Amino acid sequence: MAPVGGAPKPPKKGILERLDSGEIVIGDGGFVIALEKRGYVKAGPWTPEAAVEHPEAVRQLHREFLRAGSNVLQTFTFYASEDKLENRGNYVADKISGQKVNEAACDIAWEVSQEGDALVAGGVSQTPSYLSCKDKAEVKAIFQKQLEVFVKKNVDFLIAEYFEHVEEATWAVEVLKESGKPVAVSLCIGPEGDMHGIPPGECAVQLVKAGASIVGVNCHFDPDTCLKTVTLMKEGLQAAKLKAHLMSQPLAFHTPDCRKQGFIDLPEFPFGLEPRILTRWDVQKYAREAYNMGIRYIGGCCGFEPYHIRAIAEELAPERGFLPEASEKHGSWGSGLSMHTKPWVRARARKEYWENLLPASGRPYCPSMSKPDAWGVTKGAAELMQQKEATTEQQLKELFEKQKFISSMVA
């Protein structure tokens, strides 16, 4: 494998250069959900040790997003903070180490980025330490450790993403900003604001003031909800006369029934979300709306598979002037179906057909919406204190009882 970090880089346009010139930047999709399905990530801890354990799987997924049109390859370092890698019995901190995971993730992203026109973004995300009420210095030290790797590996820019509390996100931005590299930041919040009730507009203002050049949301909600939230951020920034680029990386799941904390609360999370998965046409609609409201960093998060990213690239091909590599294997708006054997499937090779389709679930015994779990706890609640030892049988039993009680109240 080629040396990473110190190696001579091709002269790619930087992230701000692109956005400042009005270019559309297409993000990538969700690694933890995709790699969980492929067999390399454990749902629950969701940590990225696959970068060390199975680099070929991570590499292949990066490559698929690149071919689908991504201009950014985020290092697979979600939840790769040291405190997360040792939370609730996780073996990774001990057996592998956070540093090795972060380094491996950078190497793989860099390697694949050389195969096309994509930048590498080093990513940090919210920490168990913050949730467990550790102080600012302790939390910042966590981010600092990851940043050291990103600087050493010379990533193109930095993303702080998946923060439920703007306070923690601000701390992350402050740390990342020290590197001198451009910083993007996205919260996993909805229109109601962060877990402490701070509205999206004010969150955006705080983050830009802390040094972020790109601000937006990722994860937790579907495209419709995310775009509403980014609109509120945009309005907040305008009111404060602040400038920043906007980004959105929503779920590829329909979540009209979510409340404040998003899809984590849905009873289907994380192993029964299939009926909610976006079609490629849902994504095309999202890409168009995001573009129309002025967002230029458009990507996805959990649930976004390579074909969802391709749908963004195909929808915005007129504006960008080209199709992604993977579109060789996909005729826009289903036109490839003109090669199908059956005549009634060839009859579906057109835009009008797919954009008007209301797809059935094939699940007549299931509802269309769910009541989310609503435990009403956030940072500070005892149940949210994290621990190094595995969750005990007794702790689980108490949770099971509580869940039954609460859902009998909700019904």
Q: Is 194 in the site for a copy of itself (CB under 8 A)?
A: no
Q: Is 225 in the site for a copy of itself (CB under 8 A)?
A: no
302 carries a ligand binding annotation = yes
Kindly tell me which of 21 and 356 has the beta carbon lying closer to a copy of itself: 356
Cα torsion 388, 390, 396, 399 to 10°: value is 20
- Give the per-residue contact string, 276-305, with a copy of itself (x = CB under 8 A; - = no): xxxxxx-----------------------x
Sequence-distant (≥ 6) Cβ neighbours of residue 242 within 8 angstroms: 204, 205, 208, 209
203 carries a ligand binding annotation = no
Give the closest residue to 247 by CA, choosing from 110, 64, 72.
72
Q: Is 264 in the site for a copy of itself (CB under 8 A)?
A: yes
Q: Helix (H, G, I), strand (E, B), or coil: what is residue 80? A: coil
- DSSP per-residue string spanning 363-411: -TTS-S--PPP-----TT-GGG---SSPPPHHHHHHHHHHHHHHHHHH-
Residues 101-160 that bind a copy of itself (CB under 8 A): 128, 131
Residues 37-66 that bind a copy of itself (CB under 8 A): 37-45, 56-57, 60, 63-64
Kindly tell me which of 9 and 329 has the beta carbon lying closer to a copy of itself: 329
DSSP state of 193: B
Sequence-distant (≥ 6) Cβ neighbours of residue 164 within 8 angstroms: 126, 187, 188, 189, 194, 195, 261, 378
219 carries a ligand binding annotation = yes
Residues 156-175 that bind a copy of itself (CB under 8 A): none
Q: Which of 23, 178, 192, 268 binds a copy of itself (CB under 8 A)?
A: 268
- Phi (first) and psi of residue 25, to 5 degrees: -110, 125
Q: How far is the CB of 17 from a copy of itself (least distance, A)?
A: 27
Q: Is 201 in the site for a copy of itself (CB under 8 A)?
A: no
Kindly tell me which of 167 and 222 has the beta carbon lying closer to a copy of itself: 222
Residues 66-95 that bind a copy of itself (CB under 8 A): 67-68, 87-90
Report the side by side order of strands in the sheet with 157-163.
25-26, 297-298, 245-249, 214-218, 183-187, 157-163, 119-125, 72-74
Q: Which of 271, 318, 322, 394 binds a copy of itself (CB under 8 A)?
A: 271
Q: Is 332 in the site for a copy of itself (CB under 8 A)?
A: no
Contact 68, 309 (CB under 8 A): yes
Kindly tell me which of 160 and 273 has the beta carbon lying closer to a copy of itself: 273
**Binding site for Zn(2+): residue ranges?**
219, 301-302
